[in-house]
Structure 1
Amino acid sequence: MVNQSGRGVLTANPTETVSGYQRRIVFHIHFWALIAVAPLIPIQWAQDHALLSLLLGVFCLGMVLVLLFLRLRDYYLFNGWLFAVFAIASVLYSTLINGYIGLFWAYPAIAAIFFLMALRRAIGINAVFVVAVATVSYYRFPEAEFWRITFSLALSVVFVTIFAWLVGRMQAELTKLATTDPLTGCLNRSQLADVLNRHIQLRERYERVASLVLIDLDHFKSINDRWGHTTGDRVLQEAARRLDRRLRECDQLFRVGGEEFMVILPETRQKTAEDLARELLITLSSAPFLEDVPITASAGVTEVVRGETWSTWLNRADQALYTAKHTGRGRVIGVRGQDAAMPAAGDTRIAG
């Protein structure tokens, strides 16, 4: 069962970890772009390119704002739009007046846009970027150079698109591996604290209720001892499938221990959650597993109350489950926040 301290639920959230790395990428791209672009402002001004100098100055000011918001508020200001617009405008105008010197900046700008924006948006913006640079190049350079420039920029977009797509796929796969139990396909404990906290916040701010159901398979050790661990694993997989088939799309099913599952039920009152828990236990015990393995389960149910922490909510469900396991098993025990001292009041026996 989940112990009184929350037993391992405080592991880092993989989604938050990925988001943190994305913020670092955004920060470093803006920081080093600022270092590279800022010296060009006085250089272009000295060459009487006042408009380009002004463009670069606004570009740098925007990057400073992005860096400050990231550092002080952990907020991604402009979501890459300012960088994309001013980078493209500066490259186009610089290419028009400076020739190849301006064109050289197009290649790092293309790569940076892919790191700063969502993939589809970056593809669209860079497609417009390539067309715009090709148009300027057509009028600015000989025809042979125009074709070389156009194809090299297009290939850069293609290569970086492939790289960004593969990195995105790998990130999604790694996040799934980190948040999903490999045996049953249920969610694992890595996100549990954040999910519970989110429902507590919804309760505090909007009076939106949620209930928690802890389910533990009875005498599971005897299954492993009698039929072996392979059979035990198959029983867990089938139990997860039976539970999942009975749940709504908005419900979340976790595997939080060896033979213990947790169901988070949004917008669900205590009484409704207890009724559902009974149905889940019946679903588990109504037919033998693997044709000849009988299963019963016990459940603890509780609704979130205002002013409590996620660990208090979780521990109350754990206490209810503990009572169910030690008063005969195969039953549902419901505990309300204000009735925590009297867990037996919600005792419902499920025939096994």
Structure 2
Amino acid sequence: MTKRLSLTSTSTNPTETALGYRRQIVYYIHFWSLAAVAPLVLVQWHQGNSLLSALLGLFCVNLIAVVLVLRFRDRYLFKGRLFALFAIASTLYSTHINGHIGLFWGYPAIAGMFFLLVLREALVLNALFIMTLSVVAYLRFPEPEFWRISFSLGMTGVVVAVFAWLVGRMQGELTSLATSDPLTGCLNRSQMADILNTQIQMRERYERVASLVLVDLDHFKTINDRWGHAAGDRVLREAAKRLQQRLRDVDHLFRIGGEEFMVVLPETRQKSAEELARQLLTALSLAPFHNEIHVTASAGITELIKGETWSTWLNRADQALYTAKEDGRNRVVSLRGSDHSSLAGDELRPGAAGTPPVAT
């Protein structure tokens, strides 16, 4: 489901914040490009270059459309492709008829495309642009100038490409650090509200079901006290790995506390979630961890009820988990939203196994 993103980066979600800043970059590049290009429409018209004036006029229309749609609809119109098309065509034609005056616009055009397009598209288009502009320079200017122009255009493209690549990589790594638990690689709390709200929206609009499983490792403090915190960290990493291996690609695994994990199961009824929870607890207890550390876990399960908030949904799963631990741990407790008083606790027996969760 596509989300609308505001130009003002007020979201607490790191991914949305990064995309919000990208929207601002796109907005201001188009806005100031419009301020720079609009006067040239009249200048070229008065100089008798009607075709270039018309081309620049269309460029301005595209810039205005992108700015307005981005400002009032929070949508990136044309994804920068028309910007690249008009910038390339205008620069090439202006260089052909105006010489250096047109050539100078090639440098900001190269930089602009790297900020507005996907990196792969920017690389391809800029490579074609630089080669074509070099051909025009070869036909238009003396040979010594042609070589200087070609090398300066090429160096501009290389420098901006490296910068854009590094910025994109840094953004990806920072987003990963902000959204993932550094110890286990699971999602962290920064993503929790958005993913739970997405499931609520799917339930409200399309009657899509979803279930929640909370898994808590039993007596984890004993592991830290007996084997040390390094061993405890290894157990947590291995536990996350075992849990993830039992999940589907569409499921979401969070670490929401010291030894507590949360699994969001889209398209899954409560009964199927109970079967999966038994599998998860079996995967944790069946084989010992490092240093022959034996681990059991408790789980609380509940299905999303239409009309409730994510905090209510999560709180009910937490109540089920609390009951599982109060009843002796190493068991699954399922709590239905339609009947908070009915608790079904099942002790997990060694070797117990269920069937995989079924999408409903």
Partner Cα separation in structure 2 for residue 282 and residue 90 of structure 1: 66
User: In 1, distance between residues paired with 2:48 and 2:207?
Assistant: 63
**Maintained 8 Å contact 1:255/1:261:** yes
**Distance in 2 of aligned mates of 1:227 and 1:291:** 9
Task: Tell me how far apart the structure 2 counterparts of residues 343 and 112 of structure 1 sit (CA, whole Å).
Answer: 61
Aligned-pair CA distance for 1:228: 2.4
Gaps of 5+ in 1: 1-10
Residues in 1 aligned to 2:50 and 2:289: alpha-carbon distance in whole angstroms: 78
- Equivalent residue runs for 1:159-198 within 5 Å: 159-198=159-198
Amino acid at match of 1:304: L
Hey, what does 1:61 align to over in structure 2? 61
Q: Which residue of 2 aligns with 1:342?
A: 341
Partner amino acid for 2:345?
A: D
The residue aligned with 1:231 is 231
Measured after TM superposition, the shift of residue 267 of structure 1 is 2.1
Equivalents in 1 of 2:128, 2:287: separation in Å? 60
Query: What SS is found at the alignment partner of 1:214?
Result: strand
Given the alignment of the two structures, is residue 271 of structure 1 paired with residue 298 of structure 2, yes or no?
no
Displacement, 1:105?
A: 0.3
Query: Alignment length, in residue pairs?
Result: 341
Match of 2:23 in 1: 23
Aligned counterparts of 1:167 and 1:113: Cα–Cα separation in 2: 14
Q: Name the counterpart of 1:252.
A: 252
Deviations 1:95-116 (A, max 9, x none): 1111001000000000000000
Letter in 1 for 2:333: I
Residue correspondence of structure 1 range 138-149 to structure 2 within 5 A:
138-149=138-149
Q: Distance in 1 between matches of 2:104 and 2:197?
A: 49
CA deviation vs aligned residue, 1:105-150 (integer Å, no higher than 9, x gap): 0000000000001000111111221122122222211233223222
Q: Which amino acid aligns with 2:173?
A: E
Counterpart for residue 4 of structure 1: none
Aligned equivalents of 1:201, 1:104: Cα separation in 2: 50
Aligned residue identity for 1:40? L
Bigger shift: 181-190 or 39-48?
39-48
User: Is the contact between residue 14 and residue 178 of structure 1 (CA under 8 Å) also seen in structure 2?
Assistant: yes
Tell me if structure 2 keeps the 8 A contact 1:12–1:191.
no
Provide the rounded CA distance (Å) in 1 between the counterparts of 2:250 and 2:271.
18
Equivalences for residues 269-348 of structure 1 within 5 A? 269-339=269-339, 341-344=340-343, 346-348=344-346
User: RMSD across aligned C-alpha pairs, in angstroms?
Assistant: 1.8
Structure 2: distance between partners of 1:343 and 1:42: 77
| C-alpha distance in 1 between matches for 2:78 and 2:236 | 47
Structure-2 separation of matches of 1:102 and 1:222: 73
Task: Name the SS of the counterpart of 1:261 in structure 2.
Answer: strand
Q: How far apart, CA to CA, are the structure 2 residues paired with 1:71 and 1:27? A: 8
- Structure 1 residue 202 displacement after superposition: 2.1
Does the 8 A contact of 1:211 with 1:302 survive in 2?
Answer: yes
Measured in 2, the distance between the counterparts of 1:238 and 1:125 equals 45
Name whichever of 269-278 and 48-57 sits farther off. 48-57
Q: Is the 8 A contact 1:305 1:337 kept in 2?
A: yes
- Equivalence for 1:89: 89
Larger deviation, residues 199-208 vs 75-84: 199-208
* C-alpha distance in structure 2 between counterparts of 1:337 and 1:129, whole Å: 61
Query: d(CA) in 2 for partners of 1:293 and 1:131?
Result: 64
Q: What amino acid does structure 2 have at the position aligned with 1:213?
A: V
The 1:343/1:234 distance shift into structure 2, 3 A limit, reads farther
CA distance in 2, matches of 1:85, 1:216: 55
Determine whether 1:120 maps to 2:98.
no
Deviation at 1:50, TM superposition (A): 1.9
Shift of 1:281: 1.0
Deviations 1:164-220 (A, max 9, x none): 111111111111111111111111111111111222222233332221110011122
Range that drifts further, 185-194 or 57-66? 57-66
Aligned 8 A contact 1:323 1:343 in 2? no
The 2-side partners of 1:66 and 1:311 are apart by: 38
Structure 2: state its 5+ residue gaps.
Answer: 1-10, 351-360
State the 1:56 CA deviation.
1.6
State the Cα distance separating 1:18 from its structure 2 match. 0.8
Structure 1: how far apart are the matches of 2:24 and 2:97? 34
Task: Compute the displacement of 1:294 (Å).
Answer: 2.6
Partners in 2 of 1:178 and 1:39 — Cα distance?
44
* 1:274–1:301 contact (8 Å) kept in structure 2: yes
* Amino acid paired to 2:347: R
Please report how far the alpha carbon of residue 343 of structure 1 lies from its aligned counterpart in structure 2 after TM superposition.
Answer: 4.1
d(CA) in 1 for partners of 2:279 and 2:53?
A: 70
Distance 2:20 2:301 in 1: 35
Amino acid corresponding to residue 342 of structure 1 in structure 2: S
